[in-house]
Each structure stands twice: as C-alpha cells, then as structure tokens.
C-alpha cells in the first residue's frame, strides 16, 4: 500500500510507561485529553493523510520540525510489501467484532519484531469499560482505552450503527448489517498519534478504486459470521502499528 510523504511539525508530549489494560487513572485522563484533541482535527486541518484511512495527528503545541514522511516511511517499511497485511503474522494485528450492537470483542497480537511478543494474543473480550453506543441521536460514541504489550496505548471508538454515524469524523459509513461497527483506532505515541479509520482501510475493495497499489490495512470483514444466533458478527482484522513501528529516525538517539 502507498504512504505519502509530507513535511509536518512534530511536538513533544510526555508518555508514561505502559500499564496493564484497560487504561485507568492519570494516564487515562491524559489519553482522554489527547483523544479529544485528535477529534477536533479534520482532514486537511491537522489530520495528515499517510495512506487511505491512515492519519497522523500531532499532539499538543508544535515544538520542532520533522517529517510526516518519516512516519509514512516507517509504516511503509512495516506494511508496504503486503497485499493482505491484516493476515501476516509478522505484523502486529487487531481482530475485532461486535454483535447485536454490543458484545465488543478485541484481541491484539504483538509481532516478534516488537520485542514484546509473548506468543499469546492480548484478549479483551470481557474487558471493555464501554461498548454500546447508547442513544446515538443525542450522544457521542464512547471511547475505550487499552494498553497492550507490543502495541502501546491506544483507543477504540465505534463510529457507526446501521442507522447513525458519528458526525465529528469525516467519511463515516453506516454498518452493512444491524449493529455497531467501523471503529477508529488511535495509537498514542510520543508527540503524535496514528489514526486508523478501519472502514476506510479495507483490503477487499476493488483494487485500484483508491489508488494503484492500495491494499489497505484491514480485511476479513465486514461480516465475520452471519449464521450465529443474536445477529451478524461484524468487524475486521487489521494490521496495526507495533509500539516501535513508527519510531521516527530523527528522534531516536
């Protein structure tokens, strides 16, 4: 898949060491602030496109100059050669689904290259503080925060039901089946965040629809199981950045 390169400003932000998932306490409040900041950014207004459905958001006040191209290049090195990066074991991965507008399930796995792989998936099926989007007409969809070995701090926000989409995010899409779908993942890094709009980064769209070499980070969806009782199981598998995949050469020592 293709990652573009563009000059941007990079800010510094304090990131505490990893804590067991889900995130709580002072770190949770810090991530909530950063998530709110990302949410105020729109396409071409602070969200910098790295690829289709993949964005870079700068945290806090800009403090120094570096290249979004560095992040794009790092992600390109991590995923660019794969046709189906979501199913490549050498990548960090997230598998998620919902059923009947609830039953949020997620597991991530850390790739060997992260240095933090235990060989086991980090499974959050019974580990959500918030899952359903209650009364979408009047409320924003909730945001769940996790920290996983090999992945780092990230949030998950489902952005659509079969009837509503979250107005503060661009290019949202209603679910193809009854339920809750299309999460935005935000990976919080020192000074910036990587935003993955999973529904836009699909690998199963007709090749060439977006750009010549686009294969997307997500696949194996949107319907994962249409035969289980309780409604369609909807979700995707995605390749996601390992905690160290998008380290900037210019900030490493």
C-alpha to C-alpha distance for 109 and 127, rounded to whole angstroms? 16
155 binds ligand NAG (CB under 6 A): no
Part in contact with ligand NAG (CB under 6 A); list of ranges 56-64, 146-154, 182-190, 213-221: 146-154
Distances (CA, A) of 74 to 56, 82, 235: 13, 14, 26
| 16/134 with CB nearer ligand NAG | 16
Choice between 53 and 152, CB closer to ligand NAG: 152
Nearer to ligand NAG, 39 or 148 (CB): 148
Taking contact as CB under 6 A, which single stretch among the options 28-36, 54-62, 148-156, 205-213 is the one that binds ligand NAG? 148-156
Element (H, E) at 102: strand 102-109
| Closest separation in Å from C-beta 123 to ligand NAG | 16
Whether 243 and 152 have beta carbons less than 8 Å apart is answered as: yes
Tell how strand 42-43 and strand 46-51 pair up: parallel
Residue 116 binds ligand NAG, judged by CB under 6 A? yes
Q: What is the dihedral of CA 62, 63, 69, 75, to 10 degrees?
A: -90
Tell me the closest approach of the beta carbon of residue 114 to ligand NAG, in angstroms.
7
Binding mask 228-247 for ligand NAG (x = CB under 6 A): ---------------x----
> Count residues contacting ligand NAG (CB under 6 A)?
7
DSSP state of 31: H
Q: Which is nearer to ligand NAG, 115 or 230 (CB)?
A: 115
Kindly list the distances between the CA atom of residue 188 and the CA atoms of 134, 153, 204, 213, 247, in Å, as whole numbers in the listed order.
Answer: 26, 6, 27, 27, 12
Task: Report in angstroms how near the CB of residue 229 gets to ligand NAG at its nearest.
Answer: 37
Q: Check: CB of residue 131 under 8 Å from CB of residue 142.
A: yes
Cα atoms in the Cβ-side hemisphere of radius 13 Å centred on 169? 30
Distance of CA 89 to the CA centre of its chain: 18
- Nearer to ligand NAG by Cβ, of 15 and 67: the residue is 15
Position 18 contacts ligand NAG (CB under 6 A): yes
Residue from 150, 179, 216, 241 binding ligand NAG (CB under 6 A): 150
Name the residues that contact ligand NAG, by CB under 6 A.
18, 115-116, 149-150, 152, 243
């Amino acid at each position: 898949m293709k990652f573009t390169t563009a000059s941007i400003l990079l800010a510094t932000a304090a990131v505490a060491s990893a804590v067991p998932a889900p995130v709580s306490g002072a770190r949770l409040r810090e991530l909530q602030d950063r998530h709110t900041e990302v949410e105020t950014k729109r396409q071409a207004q602070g969200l910098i496109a790295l690829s289709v459905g993949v964005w870079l958001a700068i945290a806090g006040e800009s403090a120094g100059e570096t290249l979004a191209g560095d992040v794009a290049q790092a992600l390109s090195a991590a995923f660019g050669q794969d046709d189906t990066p979501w199913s490549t074991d050498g990548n960090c991965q997230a598998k998620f689904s919902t059923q009947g507008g609830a039953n949020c399930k997620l597991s991530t796995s850390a790739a060997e290259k992260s240095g933090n792989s235990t060989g086991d998936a980090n499974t959050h099926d019974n580990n959500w503080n918030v899952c359903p989007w209650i009364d979408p007409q009047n409320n924003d969809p909730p945001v769940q925060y996790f920290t996983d070995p090999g992945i780092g701090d990230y949030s998950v926000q489902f952005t659509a039901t079969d009837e509503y989409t979250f107005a503060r995010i661009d290019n949202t899409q209603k679910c193809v089946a009854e339920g809750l779908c299309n999460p935005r993942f935000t990976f919080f890094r020192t000074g910036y965040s990587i935003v993955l709009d999973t529904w836009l980064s699909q690998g199963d769209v007709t090749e060439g629809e977006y750009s010549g070499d686009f294969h997307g980070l997500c696949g194996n969806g949107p319907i994962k199981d249409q035969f289980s009782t309780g409604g369609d199981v909807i979700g995707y598998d995605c390749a996601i950045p390992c905690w160290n995949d998008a380290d900037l050469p210019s900030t490493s020592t």
